């Protein structure tokens, strides 16, 4: 059995006051579960460390620099995330690729920087609507995956998580059907199996894109879907906890 993970991606939301309430409710509402993760904006990582240390909930960031240290104004290094107790970091989210111009090569470098510091990368892959309609979904996610596997090596995925997030399903209320998601997850796992059957059997592949309490259970019931990366619904403690329970 692969471990199940449900990770909240808060994106650029929250405040000290809002987070304080949310974290308390998430800890209480998901007690007894494993694989629960919250990923906050950088400035609040100290708050997650303070509130979540010693609980069953892990935490992480949503990005990091591919560089180790030095003259990179505005950037945050892997070691800094480790300083604040992060276990995870989201890498290559489609918003970073589309809005901030991250290429597959940058994403691969960030993945490697994260792992070199002992963080578990949550590597996001996904196609746009135009790419899906053009029938090139597998080629797109394949290229995104191969760039990382090429730089970091396939064995790196022993200590990593993949999140398949179709861009057209993110924040749109339009979820991939369980079968659409399963098909891409299967394709990814088959692709990994060509390089390492062992890693393919172990690496958790999460689905992300408008996961809600109402659709989580049927998505997570698919054989190659190992949990979710949750945006909007991770800001509502009751919804997030219900989604976590659906994965258990
Ligand atoms: P969403 O976002 O759940 O709001 O669609 C998912 C994500 O972007 O990780």
pLDDT (tens digit per residue) in 118-128: 999 999 999 99
Q: Which residues make Cβ contacts (< 8 Å) with residue 32, sequence separation at least 6? A: 56
Residue 127 is among the residues annotated as catalytic for this protein = no
Radius of gyration for the chain, computed over Cα atoms and rounded to the nearest angstrom: 17
Cβ atoms within 10 Å of 50's Cβ, excluding its own: 13
What are the residue ranges spanned by the domains of the chain?
5-247
Q: At 130, is the pLDDT very low, low, confident or very high (cuts 50, 70, 90)?
A: very high
| pTM of the predicted model as reported, rounded to 2 decimal places | 0.98
Write down the mean pLDDT value for the chain: 97
Q: Which listed residue (109, 127, 165, 242) is catalytic?
A: 165
Q: Is the CB of 165 under 6 A from ligand 1?
A: yes
* Long-range contacts (CB closer than 8 Å, 24 or more residues apart) made by 130-138: 132/166, 132/168, 137/166, 137/184, 138/184, 138/187
**CB-based burial of residue 179 (10 Å sphere; 0-12 exposed, 13-18 middle, 19+ buried)?**
exposed
How confident is the model over 2-25, as pLDDT tens digits?
999 999 999 999 999 999 999 999
Instruction: Give the number of other CB atoms < 10 A from CB of residue 78.
Output: 26
Residues in the chain: 248
**Residue 93 a catalytic site member:** yes
**Binding site membership of 227 for ligand 1 (Cβ less than 6 Å):** no
Which CATH superfamily groups domain 5-247? Aldolase class I (3.20.20.70)
Atom of ligand 1 nearest to the CA of 209: 5
Read off the pLDDT of residues 209-235 as tens digits, 9 standing for 90 and up.
Answer: 999 999 999 999 999 999 999 999 999
Q: Give the ranges where the chain is alpha helix by DSSP (H).
A: 16-29, 45-52, 78-83, 94-99, 104-116, 129-133, 137-152, 178-195, 197-202, 213-220, 237-247
CB 158 within 8 A of CB 203: yes
Q: Is 9 in the pocket of ligand 1 (CB under 6 A)?
A: yes
For residue 174, what pLDDT is reported?
87
Tell which residue, 61, 47, 52, 57, has the closest CA to residue 19.
47
- The Å distance, Cα 10 to ligand 1 centre, comes to 9
Measured in Å, residue 170 CA sits from the centre of ligand 1 at 5
Cβ neighbour number for residue 88 with a 10 Å cutoff:
23
230 lines ligand 1 (CB under 6 A): yes
Could you read off the pLDDT of 141-175 as tens digits, one per residue?
999 999 999 999 999 999 999 999 999 999 888 88
C-alpha torsion sign, points 100, 104, 109, 110: positive
């Amino acid at each position: 059995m692969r471990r199940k993970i449900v990770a909240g991606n808060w994106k650029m939301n929250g405040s000290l006051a809002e987070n304080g309430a949310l974290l308390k409710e998430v800890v209480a509402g998901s007690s007894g579960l494993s694989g629960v993760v919250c990923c906050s904006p950088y400035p609040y990582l100290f708050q997650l460390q303070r509130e979540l240390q010693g609980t069953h909930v892990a935490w992480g960031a949503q990005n990091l620099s591919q560089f180790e240290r030095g003259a990179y104004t505005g950037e945050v290094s892997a070691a800094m995330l480790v300083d604040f107790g992060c276990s995870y970091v989201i890498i290559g989210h489609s918003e970073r690729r589309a809005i901030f111009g991250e290429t597959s090569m940058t994403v691969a470098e960030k993945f490697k920087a994260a792992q070199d510091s002992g963080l578990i990368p949550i590597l996001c892959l996904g196609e746009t609507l135009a790419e899906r309609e053009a029938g090139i979904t597998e080629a797109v996610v394949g290229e995104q995956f191969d760039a990382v596997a090429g730089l970091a090596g396939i064995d790196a995925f022993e200590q990593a998580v993949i999140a398949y997030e179709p861009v057209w399903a993110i924040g749109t209320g339009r979820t991939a059907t369980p079968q659409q998601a399963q098909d891409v997850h299967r394709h990814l796992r088959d692709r990994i199996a060509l390089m390492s059957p062992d890693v393919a059997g172990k690496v958790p592949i999460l689905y992300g894109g408008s996961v809600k309490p109402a659709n989580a259970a049927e998505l997570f019931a698919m054989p190659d879907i190992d949990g979710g990366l949750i945006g909007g619904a991770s800001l509502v403690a009751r919804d997030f906890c219900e989604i976590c329970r659906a994965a258990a």
